[in-house]
């Protein structure tokens, strides 16, 4: 051991060694920062994936429920038309009449 090693503040350091030490410390800090950012991004991606999965599951449930409601309404409408088709014929005739009147005015 040298006397210069005991008294670091008194030791004259080579500028290249100082730069090399700073670069080494900078590399160490950048690796640490890279690990922290990677870990945080992984956590965020995992949470986002879970949220999207939950949303899609809920959307599928709502879509199935809406399809069921639409199916029941369509069956009821078909049964009502079979019982009494005159209101449907009147509505369709009125729509066609209005459509033809509006297109003639232009």
Q: What is the pTM of this model?
A: 0.47
* Per-residue pLDDT at 106 exceeds 60: no
Domain map of the chain by residue range? 3-105
Q: What is the pLDDT of residue 66?
A: 96
Q: What is the pLDDT of residues 66-94, one digit of tens each?
A: 999 999 999 999 999 899 989 889 999 99
CB of 14 within 8 A of CB of 20? no
Q: Label residue 5 by pLDDT band (50, 70, 90).
A: low
Q: What is the pLDDT of residues 27-46, one digit of tens each?
A: 999 999 999 999 899 999 99
For residue 7, is it left (φ>0), alpha (ψ between -120 and 50) or beta?
Answer: beta
């Amino acid at each position: 051991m040298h006397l210069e090693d005991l008294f670091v503040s008194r030791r004259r350091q080579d500028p290249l060694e100082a730069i090399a030490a700073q670069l080494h410390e900078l590399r160490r800090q950048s690796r640490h920062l890279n690990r922290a950012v990677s870990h945080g991004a992984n956590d965020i991606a995992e949470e986002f994936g879970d949220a999207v999965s939950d949303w899609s599951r809920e959307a599928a449930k709502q879509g199935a429920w809406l399809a069921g409601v639409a199916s029941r309404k369509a069956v009821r409408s078909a049964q009502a038309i079979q019982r009494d088709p005159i209101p449907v014929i009147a509505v369709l005739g009125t729509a066609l009449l209005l459509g033809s009147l509006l297109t003639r005015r232009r």
